[in-house]
Amino acid sequence: MGNLRRFASLLALSACLVATTGHASGDSGHLEDSGIDPGDIHSLQRGARNFMNYCSGCHSARYVRYNTIGKYLELSEQQLIDSLMFNAEKTFETILASMPTDDAARWFGKAPPDLSLMSRSKGADYIYNFLTKFYVAEDSATGVNNLMLDGTSMPHVLWELQGYQAAIFKTHESEDGSVTTTFEGFEQISAGLMNAEEYAGFVRDTVNFLAHIGEPIRSDRRKLGVWVLMFLFFFYIIASMLKKQIWKDVN
Ligand code: HEC
């Protein structure tokens, strides 16, 4: 009976593990890799600036305090105030959108979601793809649609940087009359201030910052990992010296 129960709980545990890993990899199979580096402080600093300049007008990050970001990103209080705090007075305030949620919902038909935990719910790769895959769509109220979120009400707020691109779709009609549409690629129709590579870098930094606020401990884990490896290395040296010492007389 005891064995059976242990077996059942082991089974339940492995089912949980499978479920969580399944969730983590999610349906990101077709997504372009964001390539973010959570340990790159400069990328995080640029991402924070991008977020404040281009996103915080509509989106809040209300679980995040300015001074927490300042500390992680190694910014002085003055740098924090000068370069990030447009919507707040005090460094302990959280990041609120400049636009009231009710107005935003009325204007866009949908309130811009809080972005504090967006990287956790949708994944960093998803956000990277979302921000790079806006394309012109005449029939949309914002003039654009998005490959990741069909019919999205978010305007292409980064169009000045990326320029506009058109999406090329092909429709195939099979013999039984059913029609399928496949996405073939993008075609740049107007240039932005950045070339494709620069824009990808800009989005990567922004997504890096969003992933960071979703899980600030990530950067710490990296640093901790280095210490652990260093400790193991020195421990190995000491252990081998000790071994030599102990076996000296026997040999
Ligand atoms: C002009 C207002 C506005 C700005 C500025 C803006 N957004 Fe949005 N955003 C929206 C709206 C509205 C939605 C809801 C879209 C929907 O659900 O169709 C949204 C949705 C999103 C989503 C969720 C997408 C999903 O799949 O549910 C993400 C991620 C996002 N925005 C990221 C950003 C980032 C990053 C920036 C800055 C580069 C930004 N947004 C700037 C209005 C804005």
Per-residue pLDDT reduced to its tens digit, 34-83: 999 988 999 999 999 999 999 999 999 999 999 889 988 999 989 899 88
Give the closest residue (by CA) to ligand 1 atom 42: 154
Give me the pLDDT at residue 46, please.
96
Give me the pLDDT at residue 164, please.
97
pLDDT in tens, 95-125: 998 888 888 888 888 899 999 999 999 999 9
Termini Cα distance of the chain? 53
Q: Which amino acid is at 219?
A: S
CATH code of the domain made up of 31-215: 1.10.760.10
Give me the pLDDT at residue 16, please.
46
Give me the pLDDT at residue 104, please.
85
pLDDT band, residue 28 (cuts 50/70/90): very low
Distance 70 CA to ligand 1 centre (A): 24
CB 179 within 8 Å of CB 170: no
Model confidence, pTM:
0.79
Give me the pLDDT at residue 169, please.
94
- The stretch 191-209 carries a mean pLDDT of 97
Distance 163 CA to ligand 1 centre (A): 18
CA-50 nearest atom, ligand 1: 38
Give the closest residue (by CA) to ligand 1 atom 13: 112
Distance 141 CA to ligand 1 centre (A): 15
Give me the pLDDT at residue 26, please.
40
CB 211 within 8 Å of CB 119: yes
Token digits for 182? 């496949």
CA-56 nearest atom, ligand 1: 5
Judged by average pLDDT, the poorest of 40-44, 100-104, 130-134, 193-197 is 100-104
Show the ligand 1 pocket: residues with CB < 6 angstroms. Answer: 54-55, 57-59, 108, 110, 112-113, 118, 122, 127, 130-131, 149, 152-155, 157-158, 206
Of 134 and 18, the structure prediction assigns the larger pLDDT to 134
Distance 196 CA to ligand 1 centre (A): 21
Give me the pLDDT at residue 249, please.
83
